[in-house]
Amino acid sequence: MVDSLISRLNSFFLYFILIDIQCHIQLVNDPMESLTEVIEHQPDLAMSDTVPLEQRYKASMVLSGVGDALGYNHGIWEFEKDGMLIHDEVQKRGGLEKLNAKDFPVSDDTVMHLATADALVKVGEGEGASLPVLYRALVEKYIVSMTDMGGRAAGITCMDSVARHRQRTDKDIKIPFNKRGGGCGAAMRAMCIGLRFPDPEQEHLLIAVSVESGRLTHHHPTGYLGALAAALFTAYAVRGTLPVEAWGHSLMEVLDKAKEYVRHSGNCVELNMEHWAYFGIQWKSYLEKRGILDGKSKPQFPESYGVKERESFYRAVSFKGCGGASGHDAPMIAYDALLRAGNSWVELANHAFFHGGDSDSTAVIAAAWWGALFGFRGVPEINYQRLEYRDRLSKLGQRLYKLRGKPLGTEKE
């Protein structure tokens, strides 16, 4: 009788296991099951803890270069407006796992990101470090970076602003407010600032350095706040304590602190305040659309979110139809890609690297965050082994790792 009861119980449990499996299969195969999909495969922060932090630092720098190089593709994919065509071309080449880094040079994004990291390391490892010394080093490194822009499609705002710095005879680093300075050129080179100042106690430094490094070329809130977002989210990735879906909510709080910093900086305050609101309005709208403004909920995506849907969305959040070309939407699209991809390098590439907007800029940012979370795990070696400037990027990542959290000497501006 006991054996009969056990047999019945086993059949009972087996029945419900089969039902559960069937429900999961139906959920996967039925795209019309609901209007929105709540993403549950968020980046596993426990997984991040299994990758040594130093390795994640190196990966953040190296993979940012990979994202840039693949998104750029000699300028062919960066300036291609048809995202579907890019995805078709990737598949014709055998998919992401067949793309050899040696065939994809980096763009201006990585060259200037290297310049930012060079300045951070030079000042951090030297004597007499201070914010003014760091800002001067950034200017010098950005000037040098312009000698390495052949075939890399450097942005007009960056080139014009750096030329202004090069021609100066005084030691001032400030440039005039620029109503057309809202592009992504400040954001694309700022991720490593979050590697240098990852700790919550250094948030004031992260804010100051990202804002001031940004307005060395892009003196407009939409431009330099993009640098703040790029740096801040890198710091969050390094810490590994804040769920990725909460990053956007936290950014909205940090924007208030950045506003106070700019108010007290005394640099074109009235014009900066006049143009301040746009960045925050756009980000609040995005976070509401994904259902994560509260910093607690899981992101909601359209049930159908393929290439065409993403192209439409990226254009919708852009300033003038080119997704990722501005300071607000380059980190926004990168964040959207990270939320959707979770720990999948392939999905990150599909969403952030290959689209009809400013693809190298969204890619360089998203890949830096992803590397800071997951290291090189799951990334085909062919994607990064022979990347241009790989050794330099990796060594800078290692040096930034050693400098992380270190005080910056005199911290007065």
- Degrees, nearest 5: CA angle 274-258-175: 60
Q: Where are the alpha helices (DSSP H) in 240-326?
A: 247-265, 269-274, 277-290, 307-317
Token reading at 55: 């390795």
Quote the tokens at residue 345.
Answer: 């390098």
- Quick one: CA dihedral 64, 248, 358, 300, positive or negative? positive
Q: Which three-class secondary structure state does DSSP give residue 302?
A: strand
Question: Using alpha carbons only, what angle is made at residue 197 by residues 192 and 201, rounded to the nearest 5 degrees?
Answer: 160
Angstrom distance (rounded) from CA 56 to CA 368: 10
Q: Three-class SS of residue 77? A: coil
Give the annotated binding-site residues for Mg(2+): 107-109, 358, 360-361
The closest alpha carbon to 210, from 231, 196, 188, belongs to 231
229 CB-contact burial (10 Å; exposed 0-12 / middle 13-18 / buried 19+) = buried
**Contact partners, residue 352, CB within 8 Å, separation at least 6:** 67, 71, 333, 334, 337, 338, 341, 359, 362, 363, 365, 366, 367
Helix-strand-coil split of the chain, %, nearest 5: 65, 0, 30
At residue 326, the 3 state secondary structure works out as: strand
Query: Which segments are annotated as binding site?
Result: 107-109, 358, 360-361
Token pair listed for 319: 């300033």
Question: Is 195 within 8 Å of 400 (Cβ atoms)?
Answer: yes
Burial 256-270 (b: 16+ CB within 10 A, else e): eebbebbeebebbee
